[in-house]
Every structure is written in structure tokens, then in C-alpha cells.
């Protein structure tokens, strides 16, 4: 993310993290605009050999307006899972004709909003949802463009909480059911069958699950075509992993080559739904050490960011890189980097060799994806600020929350109740 040491301290592009901490306080998320643009550009151009291909950035990975705005200007499509995400995309200047709508439970209101906006496609996840979308479109005298999300029963070999392509998962419809549902969809005048979709999980670090899933989906595409249902696009989902701790995921080029080779000469537009691969490395979480403390054998660095700011370590046991913003010369020792929240799962990293003193700043790397977007107000903590760096300039793109934000919409019972 243009993260580098200059004069002994970490900078993002041309801006010192120490200056950002002074200006905006901590904890603060810091994003590099150049890194975002570079990652999206690399993804889009890796698929450029396929006419009409479109990378629909998975908004859930980081739904901050400024992030969406940078991607919208880069020509991105968007993968949304709620009406809220749709509104964010529209507010950020995203093109609704490049939006695909995923998720197992699209509400009536969200379906109507997506029809109003004129999205590219609904990724249908069940027979019941198909009927609901068809009925709503019919009642509005509209035709809804639809794909079916199929569940190819492939093991993504990722953490079980972020694997979605096995039959035991709630996502998509199995291959048998899909065939019947395509026939049903094709028979309904308020639906236009335009594609097929599949997403098998996240943080996938080898090509084989993608290739296996693609082969199974393409077998269905071919079978449907023989039955007279000819699809316009194939959406291969997201899931490409990044390197947090020495993992070696396929490069974007290798990933794209494998997909392009699989699709071959079929006249299908290729859609993708990358989230993490676009934003993870473009962001970091800047936090300050409040206290150092020892309990028995363990040494703890208590920082001002907690699991409410960055849930990945607590929820998945995820490893995130943590670096001192101004590395000290002293001998490193092993620290558990923990937050202020009252849970033992409230850690950002364990047994990290660092030379630390209270007051030091730390940078948690690769925190552009599934970090702020999964943050909460647990323990009545105000959510962090967000800053986007563009060259030598830093823009505050989200104010740090204040107490008034925490209690907005709350009411005490009236006196006497």
C-alpha cells in the first residue's frame, strides 16, 4: 500500500503515520488511494482478454463511501448484499447497471430498490427467493434480470466460517435443483435469465478449488444451453486470498488465466466479485500502545484498538501483521497485542516480537478488508476514524464517532413508566 520506512518511521505514500496520529488521533484506519486503484486496475486488466468482463467489487469487504468512490471512478462494478450497500454504491457514484445483488435473504424492500435502480443482475439463492423476485417484478410490470447462485459442493480449503461452496452451507442451490429452477425462471415473463453465479468462499490460497467449481458450473451451463437456456454471463464470485503471513495465493494473472482457460470459447461475459484482493493490502489500522503489563509468563501491550475495531483475530483466529510505526533499536520481546474490550478474545496479535514502550504507535497491516466494515460499538466504544492518503495529502473520510452517535435514536422510558 505504498507503506514504507522513511527517516526511521512508517509512511503511507507521502504521509507519515505519526503525523496522521497527531492530526486525527487513534485508532484510525488509513487507506492508500494509489494502492486501491492499482489493485482494482490489476484485477480488471487481468480479465481484459475476455470481452465485456467486469470486476464487481464485493462491497462488504469495505463499504466506506470514499473507498467505493475511488473504485466507482475506476469503472468498477459492485457486488452488494443489502439495500444499504446499494444506497452506498449509488451515493458514491457507482453505476447501478454494474451492480450484482447477492445474499441469501433479499428483503422485499431491497428487491424493489434494486429494481428501481436498474441493477445488472440478482443472484438468486433459493426457489422461494426466485418466486419472490418474480412476483415483485410482475407487480411493478418490470422484468428482473436474474442468475442462479449454484453451490458446486467444492471445498474452498479456507476457514470453515468463510467457506461457502459446500452442500452443508446455506449458500446457493445445488446443481440438481438449479436445473429445475432455471426452467421455472425461463417460464416466468417477469424474469430474464441472464447468467449463473457461484462463490465458494474467501481467503482461498490455491487455484484448484476455483477450477473445480468452474468446471462444475460450466457443465451446468452446457447442459442448460442444450435445453435451450442460453446464458449471457458467468459470475465466478470472489474469494482470491491475500498474503497475511507468508501464504502464497495465486497471482491475479494466474487466477484470471485459469478462469479464462476454463471458460474457453464459450460466448460468456465473465463477472467476478473480488473483495479482499482489492482492499486488504490498501489499508492499515493505526493504534497506540496505552499500557504495558505483565501477568505471570505473558507480556501484554494494551492498545487503543480492540476487537470492536478489528474482529478478524477474535472471530477466525486470523493472523494480521503488526509493526512498530517507529521501530526501536532495543531487543525485541514477545508481546500479546490486546485491546481494551472485556473479552479474552480481544487481541490483535499474540506473541509478537517487538521492542515497545507505552505511547508507541503500531500499524496493523492488510486491514483494508473486513476490518472497519465488521466493526461495532461493543463496550460503547466509538468507532474509529478513517483517512485516505493520496500522495502527500491525507483526507479524513470518516469522522471518529462521538457519544452522540452511540445513543442516536435511543430513548429513555418516560418518567413514571
- List, by residue number, the catalytic residues: 342
Size of the residue set binding ligand LLP (CB under 6 A): 22
| 250 lies in the binding site for ligand LLP (CB under 6 A) | no
DSSP string, 342-402: SSTT-EEEEEEEE---TT-EEEESSTTSSSGGG---GGGPPPPEEEEEETTEEEEEEPPP-
User: Which listed residue (17, 21, 58, 156) binds ligand LLP by CB under 6 A?
Assistant: 58
Residue 111 parent element (H or E): helix 108-117
User: Which listed residue (27, 77, 237, 349) binds ligand LLP by CB under 6 A?
Assistant: 237
User: Which listed residue (238, 262, 306, 339) binds ligand LLP by CB under 6 A?
Assistant: 238
Closest approach of ligand LLP to the CB of residue 235, in Å: 9
| 203 lies in the binding site for ligand LLP (CB under 6 A) | yes
d(CA 336, CA 340): 13
| 121 lies in the binding site for ligand LLP (CB under 6 A) | no
d(CA 146, CA 149): 10
Say if CB 255 and CB 46 are below 8 A apart: yes
Nearer to ligand LLP, 162 or 218 (CB): 162
User: Which listed residue (276, 288, 352, 398) binds ligand LLP by CB under 6 A?
Assistant: 276
| 3-state SS assignment for residue 34 | helix
d(CA 134, CA 94): 25
| 77 lies in the binding site for ligand LLP (CB under 6 A) | no
| 166 lies in the binding site for ligand LLP (CB under 6 A) | no
d(CA 153, CA 169): 9
Rounded to 5 degrees, φ, ψ at 298 are -95, 145
User: Which listed residue (90, 162, 166, 260) binds ligand LLP by CB under 6 A?
Assistant: 162
| 202 lies in the binding site for ligand LLP (CB under 6 A) | yes
Name the residues that contact ligand LLP, by CB under 6 A.
58, 60-61, 79, 102, 162, 199, 202-203, 237-240, 273-277, 312, 316, 370, 374
Amino acid at each position: 500500500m505504498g507503506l514504507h520506512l522513511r527517516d526511521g518511521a512508517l509512511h503511507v505514500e507521502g504521509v507519515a503515520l505519526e503525523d496522521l496520529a497527531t492530526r486525527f488521533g487513534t485508532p484510525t484506519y488509513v487507506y492508500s488511494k494509489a494502492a486501491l486503484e492499482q489493485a482494482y486496475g490489476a484485477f480488471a486488466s487481468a480479465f481484459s482478454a475476455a470481452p465485456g468482463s467486469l470486476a464487481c467489487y464485493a462491497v462488504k469487504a469495505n463499504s466506506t463511501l470514499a473507498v467505493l468512490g475511488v473504485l466507482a471512478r475506476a469503472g468498477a462494478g459492485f457486488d452488494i448484499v443489502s439495500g444499504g450497500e446499494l444506497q452506498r454504491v449509488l451515493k458514491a457514484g457507482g453505476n447501478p447497471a454494474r451492480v450484482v445483488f447477492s445474499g441469501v435473504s433479499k428483503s422485499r424492500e431491497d428487491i424493489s430498490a434494486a429494481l428501481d435502480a436498474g441493477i445488472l443482475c440478482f443472484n438468486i439463492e433459493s426457489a422461494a427467493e426466485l418466486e419472490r423476485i418474480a412476483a415483485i417484478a410482475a407487480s411493478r410490470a418490470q422484468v428482473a434480470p436474474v442468475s442462479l447462485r449454484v453451490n458446486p459442493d467444492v471445498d474452498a480449503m479456507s476457514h470453515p466460517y468463510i467457506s461457502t461452496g459446500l452442500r452443508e452451507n446455506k449458500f446457493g442451490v445445488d446443481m440438481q435443483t438449479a436445473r429445475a429452477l432455471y426452467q421455472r425462471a425461463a417460464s416466468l415473463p417477469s424474469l430474464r435469465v441472464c447468467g449463473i453465479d457461484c462463490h465458494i468462499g474467501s481467503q482461498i490460497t490455491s487455484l484448484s478449488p476455483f477450477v473445480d467449481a468452474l468446471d462444475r458450473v460450466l457443465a451446468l451451463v452446457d447442459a442448460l444451453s442444450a435445453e435451450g437456456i442460453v446464458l449471457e454471463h458467468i459470475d465466478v464470485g470472489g474469494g482470491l486470498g491475500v498474503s497475511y503471513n507468508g501464504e502464497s495465493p495465486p497471482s491475479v494473472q494466474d487466477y484470471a488465466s485459469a478462469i479464462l482457460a476454463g471458460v474457453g470459447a464459450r460466448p460468456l461475459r465473465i463477472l467476478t466479485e473480488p473483495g479482499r484482493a482489492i482492499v486488504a493490502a490498501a489499508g492499515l489500522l493505526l493504534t497506540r500502545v496505552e499500557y504495558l503489563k505483565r501477568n505471570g509468563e505473558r507480556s501484554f501491550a494494551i492498545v487503543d484498538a480492540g476487537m470492536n475495531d478489528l474482529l478478524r483475530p477474535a472471530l477466525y483466529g486470523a493472523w494480521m501483521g503488526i509493526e512498530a510505526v517507529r521501530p526501536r533499536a532495543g531487543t525485541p520481546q514477545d508481546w500479546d497485542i490486546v485491546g481494551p474490550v472485556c473479552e479474552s478474545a480481544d487481541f490483535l496479535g499474540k506473541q509478537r516480537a517487538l521492542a515497545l514502550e507505552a505511547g508507541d504507535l503500531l500499524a496493523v497491516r492488510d486491514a483494508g478488508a473486513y476490518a472497519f466494515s465488521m466493526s461495532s460499538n461493543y463496550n460503547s466504544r466509538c468507532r474509529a476514524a478513517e483517512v485516505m492518503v493520496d500522495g502527500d495529502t491525507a483526507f479524513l473520510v470518516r469522522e471518529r464517532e462521538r457519544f452522540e452517535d452511540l445513543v442516536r435514536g435511543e430513548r429513555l422510558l418516560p418518567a413514571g413508566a
